[in-house]
Amino acid sequence: MTHKIKKLIILGTTLILWSQLNFAAGKTYNLKVDGLVCPFCEYNIKKKLSKLDNIESVDVNLKKGTVDIIVAEGKDLQEKIVKQEIKDAGFTLKSIKVKKVSKK
């Protein structure tokens, strides 16, 4: 019986912590980028964008030619800077859309 209670406590704590982390994220932006075709392209774009201020994560989808960026809570994407970084990396930014805004 005690073993089951411990498991439930651990599971409950994990779920609470996960939900807090999920709500702490800011906006998610979806970028359509031309020229993303290989793993090196993915590495290059992640490296360029991850170094920017306010960027929490960068996820590249090579098949769709998209990049999802999550920015810090309460911050916005600096589109002009992102566009320049993508251009400097050798790619063409086609569009930027807000994909999701976290709610508290």
Q: CATH number, domain at 78? A: 3.30.70.100
For residue 80, the model assigns a pLDDT of: 93
Looking at the domain assignment, is residue 13 inside a domain? no
Looking at the domain assignment, is residue 18 inside a domain? no
For residue 23, the model assigns a pLDDT of: 47
Residue 58, domain extent: 25-100
**Is the CB of residue 93 less than 8 Å from the CB of residue 86?**
yes
Check whether 2 has a pLDDT greater than 80: no
**Is the CB of residue 9 less than 8 Å from the CB of residue 16?**
no
For residue 18, the model assigns a pLDDT of: 57
Looking at the domain assignment, is residue 61 inside a domain? yes
Answering whether pTM is above 0.75, one says no
Looking at the domain assignment, is residue 95 inside a domain? yes
Looking at the domain assignment, is residue 16 inside a domain? no
Residue carrying the six token digits 């994909």: 99
Count of domains forming the chain: 1
